[in-house]
Amino acid sequence: MAAPKNDNVKQQILDAATALFQEQHDVSLAEIAKRANVSKGTLFYHYRSKAEIYLDLGERYWNRLSEDLLAWVDNREKDTSLPRLVRYTFIRGAFDESGQLRLRLFVESIAGEEESLIRERLNEQYAHFKNILKSRILERAPGADGEQLAWLLLTLVDGLMVQSTMQNEGMDVNTFIEWMATNFQKLV
- Residue 2, pLDDT > 60, answer no
Domains of the chain, by residue range, sit at: 1-48, 49-187
Sign of the Cα pseudo-torsion (158, 160, 95, 140, in order): negative
Q: Domain spanning 49-187: which CATH class is it, in words?
A: mainly alpha
Closest-CA residue to 55 (of 8, 115, 7): 115
- Look at residue 38 and tell me whether its pLDDT is greater than 70: yes
Q: Which residue has the higher pLDDT, 34 or 105?
A: 34
Domain 1-48 has CATH 1.10.10.60: yes
H helices then E strands: how many in the chain?
9, 0
Name the CA dihedral angle for 92, 163, 115, 113, rounded to a multiple of 10 degrees. -110
pLDDT, tens only, 82-111: 999 999 999 988 887 777 778 888 888 888
**CA distances (Å), origin 85, targets 29, 76, 100:** 40, 13, 24
* Least reliable range by pLDDT among 28-37, 95-104, 134-143, 178-187: 95-104
Do the beta carbons of residue 51 and residue 114 sit within 8 Å? yes
Supply the mean pLDDT for the chain.
88
**Residues 6 or more apart from 89 whose CB is under 8 A from it?**
69, 133, 153, 157
CA 157 to chain centre: 10
> Which class for 43: exposed (0-12), middle (13-18), buried (19 or more C-beta within 10 A)?
buried
pLDDT digits (tens, 9 = 90+) for 125-168: 999 999 999 999 999 999 999 999 999 999 999 999 889 888 89
Residue 11 has pLDDT above 80, yes or no: yes
Percent with pLDDT over 90 in the chain = 54
- What integer pLDDT is reported at residue 28 of this predicted model? 92
